[in-house]
Amino acid sequence: MKSRSNNSTPAHLLMVDDNKMGLNARKSVMEELGYQVSTVSTPAEALERLSKDHFDLVITDYKMPGMNGTELIKRMRKQEYVIPVVLISGFVDALGLNEANTGADVVILKSAHEVSNMVRSVRSLLRRTSAKKPAASQTAASRTAAARKQRA
């Protein structure tokens, strides 16, 4: 994951959802708040974008064809992306989704409070991670090399 070079650059968010209307609505809200937002409609597209571009945070839906949001998060973590993830789902209660069993930093139930919860969570996660970010940018290759050195 590449880090931002300075704090004046708006955070770059990647949003993943196969529901274009929900995706566009969330994107509009976050752009109005000053974030730079990229969207994709599948987890496979998300993994491709993550390998090429810098993102500060990922917001993903849970239920999508081919791969669900939890599987996306597992693949991200396996590839050593150190990016906060917000998982949004209408199935939080029914499936017992939570941060511990999904790998997400925050799990949000789709509801009337979804947008305010998403905004609050994004702000909190970005504040928390900006304090921990390394000064130098890291690519996927440099992350992997650093991880191998630590294990050796």
Which pLDDT score, from 0 to 100, does residue 111 have? 92
Global pTM value? 0.81
- Dist CA 75 CA 77 (whole Å): 5
Domain residue limits, the chain: 12-151
- Dist CA 95 CA 11 (whole Å): 31
DSSP-assigned letter for residue 88: E
Which pLDDT score, from 0 to 100, does residue 7 have? 55
CATH 3.40.50.2300 fits 12-151, yes or no: yes
- Dist CA 57 CA 95 (whole Å): 24
- Dist CA 92 CA 63 (whole Å): 11
| Per-residue confidence in pLDDT tens, the chain, 152 aa | 333 444 568 999 999 999 999 999 999 999 999 999 999 999 999 999 999 999 999 999 999 999 999 999 999 999 999 999 999 999 999 999 999 999 999 999 999 999 999 999 999 999 987 766 543 334 444 444 444 444 44
Which pLDDT score, from 0 to 100, does residue 8 have? 66
Tokens describing residue 96: 């017992």
Which pLDDT score, from 0 to 100, does residue 39 have? 98
Which pLDDT score, from 0 to 100, does residue 132 have? 60
Do residues 57 and 46 touch, judged by C-beta distance below 8 A? no
Nearest alpha-carbon partner for 105 in 124, 119, 91: 124
Which pLDDT score, from 0 to 100, does residue 130 have? 73
Which pLDDT score, from 0 to 100, does residue 131 have? 62
